Homo-oligomer: A and B are copies of this chain.
Amino acid sequence: VPVGQRSEPTLSNDSLIKRAACLVTDSTQTFLSQTTYAVIESLTEYTTAVYTLISLQQRYTALLEKMNPNEANAIWQVVIGARVQMTNLKERYLRYEASWQRAVSISEMAAEAAYQAGADEASVSVRNHIQLVQTQVSETRELALKAEAQLAAAQTEEIRRSITEDKDKSPNGGSPRISISDEEIPEAYLRED
């Protein structure tokens, strides 16, 4: 029994596993890039939609006194459209955020597997990539939170003004007004978790 003299296939298996672990890190980096792009793009579009809504509401309020009911209604429809658009974009963002979170988790596991397989460079590369995209997404979230805070402030101001106006004069013939409901108060959609 030639114990000890047998050829060890260790090196071969180890190098194949290392190579396979590198393939995994390569593909998870692509997945991470793709989902990061989607989450940043969708979050930026959502933020833009929030500012569009703020601006439209302000314009509507400013022009309300000078418009006839038809004109007021036409602009009101645009405000409604902007609000629907904003809601859709938020849903899209949340969907991409979920797949981005999955990509981050898979990338973390891939980095660990690569490290354990001896592919240190690939492991470090993935970890750096994860840090980078987390910073990018976090910065983009800040901008969205700022926009939501402005929307909340604008709507609080609108409530205050409409209460003052209701005191001063009678309602203006059923013309549509900005309806302030609970659903418009920005929720903590973008809280970090």
Contact = CB atoms under 8 A, between A and B. Distances in A.
Interface of A: 1, 3-4, 9-10, 13, 16-17, 19-21, 23-24, 26-28, 30-31, 33-35, 37-38, 41-42, 52, 56, 78, 81-82, 84-85, 92, 96, 98-99, 102-103, 105-106, 109-110, 112-113, 116-117
Contacts of A41: 9, 13
B78 A98 contact: no
Contacts of A116: 98-99, 102
A24 B25 CA distance: 9
Contacts of A78: 1, 3
Contact of A3 (B34, B52, B92): B52
A103 B31 CA distance: 17
Contact of A20 (B10, B30, B82): B30
Interface centre among A34, A37, A38, A78 (most CB of B within 10 A): A34
A62 to B, nearest CB: 16
A20 B3 contact: no
A135 B16 CA distance: 22
Given A85-B3, A116-B102, A38 B13 contact: yes
A19 B38 CA distance: 14
Contact of A85 (B4, B9, B10, B34): B4
25 contacts: A1-B56, A3-B81, A3-B82, A4-B81, A4-B84, A9-B41, A10-B92, A13-B34, A13-B42, A16-B34, A16-B38, A17-B31, A17-B35, A17-B38, A19-B34, A20-B33, A24-B24, A24-B106, A26-B27, A27-B27, A31-B113, A98-B116, A102-B112, A106-B106, A109-B109
